[in-house]
Amino acid sequence: MIRAGLLIAATLCSISLSAQTLTKEAMNNFALYTSTKDVSNLERSRKNIDDAYKTKKDSLTYRNNLIRALVYSSLAFEDPSRKFKYVKDPIIEARFSLDRLKNPKANYDHQPEINFVKKQLAKAYLYKANKAIASMSYQEAYKTFMAVDSLDADNYQVKYNLAVVCERLGHINQAVHYYEQLIKDKEKSQPDYYLAFSNLYETSRNSNKSLEVLLEGRRVFPGNKDILFKVINIYADNGDYETVHKLVDDALQLDPDNVNLIYLAGFSAEALGKTEKAEEFYKKVIDVEQNSYQGHYSLGLLYLNLYLKEGKAREERVNEAKKHLILAGDINPNSINVLKALSVLYSKTGNMTELQRVNNKLKQFIFN
């Protein structure tokens, strides 16, 4: 009986030493992987820790679970196509062992390793999420981005992706929730978050909220031209040319040669009756882009309207109006607006030959 007891004790001791050896080898191979990035070392480490993780007692050991979480989280990221054979997916295995790390003191002592596990898992989930996005599997993308967010709550790009995915899925309230988080921290926020949030409200036909978000974005990023230009476009679409006129100088300082912006500056000035300012901007459009249809047409129409308003007292406007309208017609021969303007001009100046030619061309467009 004494000999048998000694034999059992010796056997248990042997098993314990064997498990310790496997655990040590697992850590050595894992250390080699971290220094060389050779995945074959990682695979050897996995075999070591799997052999040391056979019994219920093994599965409750803190050290075993920590090593297993380190190894499998790394495999989850390093082997995205799953070339190696697994009983269960590495993500599942890593999360299982991570969830078993319950000892507060040990977790405090091993916080760097636990952070490493979470980082590797987050990267593995991110790979899956991007793959789901590429295949437009938005529900799967949502699930995996949520998993990343649970592991890396400070990753604002992930929250942005969650907002976009929720929007694609039609979960508008959730999308609003994520966008609100994104713009709450002004130090981490980005102009794109405000623009995307504004677009969400715009798509939902809530123009007031869309503008509200952009104005807040402009306060945070006063030098961002994309936000400013979008603000200007909304005011222009709403016919608020007084506000457009006030904002346009700031916009032109950010992008002085933007033809569309210069034209809008001219149009808003004309809408407010500031014809000299409008003339200045329309001429600048042509200076920047010599063959600008919009520049020549707008300038020609401005001169024509001034002539019609002021009569013979400003008859010199006629030649300028005719010149620019003809140039606009050369640039865009199919412009009905140019033909209509020329028809008015020739009718008022009594040029019957040109009036007949223009009207005949207009009839062709109307009947075709």
Q: pLDDT digits over 8-20, tens only? A: 333 333 444 466 7
Residue 159 shares a structural domain with residue 104: no
pLDDT at 153: 84
Q: State the residue for tokens 């005719």.
A: 322
pLDDT at 51: 85
pLDDT tens digits, one per residue of 89-123: 999 999 999 999 999 999 999 999 999 999 999 99
Q: Kindly indicate the confidence band of residue 367, based on its pLDDT and cuts at 50, 70 and 90.
A: low
* 70 lies in some domain: yes
Is the pLDDT confidence value at 53 over 60? yes
* 44 lies in some domain: yes
Residue 162 shares a structural domain with residue 104: no
Residue 27 shares a structural domain with residue 102: yes
Q: What percent of the chain has pLDDT over 90?
A: 64
Is the pLDDT confidence value at 4 over 50? no
* 242 lies in some domain: no
Is the pLDDT confidence value at 57 over 90? no
* 213 lies in some domain: yes
Over residues 46-64, mean pLDDT:
83
Distance, CA of 263 to CA of 243 (rounded, Å): 15
* 142 lies in some domain: no
Average pLDDT score over the chain: 88
Over residues 164-185, mean pLDDT:
93
| Domain, as residue range, for 166 | 154-221
Over residues 148-157, mean pLDDT:
89
Distance, CA of 265 to CA of 215 (rounded, Å): 20
AA letter at 368: N
**DSSP class per residue in 308-337:** HHHGGGGTTHHHHHHHHHHHHHHH-TT-HH
Residue 126 shares a structural domain with residue 77: yes
Spacing of C-alpha 106 from chain mean position: 40
Over residues 30-52, mean pLDDT:
89
Is the pLDDT confidence value at 1 over 50? no
Residue 118 shares a structural domain with residue 192: no
Task: Look at residues 47, 45, 131 and name the one whose alpha carbon lies nearest to residue 85.
Answer: 47
Is the pLDDT confidence value at 22 over 80? no
* 316 lies in some domain: no
Distance, CA of 234 to CA of 244 (rounded, Å): 9
pLDDT at 139: 95
Residue 24 shares a structural domain with residue 109: yes
pLDDT tens digits, one per residue of 210-266: 999 999 999 999 989 999 999 999 999 889 999 999 999 899 999 999 999 999 999
Q: Kindly indicate the confidence band of residue 145, based on its pLDDT and cuts at 50, 70 and 90.
A: very high
Q: What percent of the chain has pLDDT over 70?
A: 93
Is the pLDDT confidence value at 203 over 90? no
Other beta carbons within 10 angstroms of residue 363's beta carbon come to: 10
Residue 214 shares a structural domain with residue 121: no
pLDDT tens digits, one per residue of 284-338: 999 999 999 999 999 999 999 988 887 655 677 888 999 999 999 999 988 899 9
Over residues 203-214, mean pLDDT:
90
In the chain, the number of structural domains is 2
Answer left, alpha or beta for residue 86, where phi above 0 means left and psi between -120 and 50 means alpha: beta
Over residues 254-283, mean pLDDT:
94
pLDDT tens digits, one per residue of 321-335: 999 999 999 999 888
Residue 123 shares a structural domain with residue 27: yes
* 28 lies in some domain: yes
Residue 115 shares a structural domain with residue 163: no
Residue 31 shares a structural domain with residue 62: yes
pLDDT at 91: 96
pLDDT at 24: 87
Task: Look at residues 78, 18, 16, 80 and name the one whose alpha carbon lies nearest to residue 46.
Answer: 78
Structural tokens at position 233: 């476009």
pLDDT tens digits, one per residue of 168-178: 999 999 999 99
* 164 lies in some domain: yes
AA letter at 247: L
CATH number of the domain within which 215 lies: 1.25.40.10
Residue 101 shares a structural domain with residue 24: yes
Other beta carbons within 10 angstroms of residue 21's beta carbon come to: 13
pLDDT at 148: 94
Q: Tell which of 96, 131, 166 closes a domain.
A: 131
Higher-confidence residue: 364 or 39?
39
Residue 121 shares a structural domain with residue 65: yes
Q: Tell which of 200, 221, 242 closes a domain.
A: 221
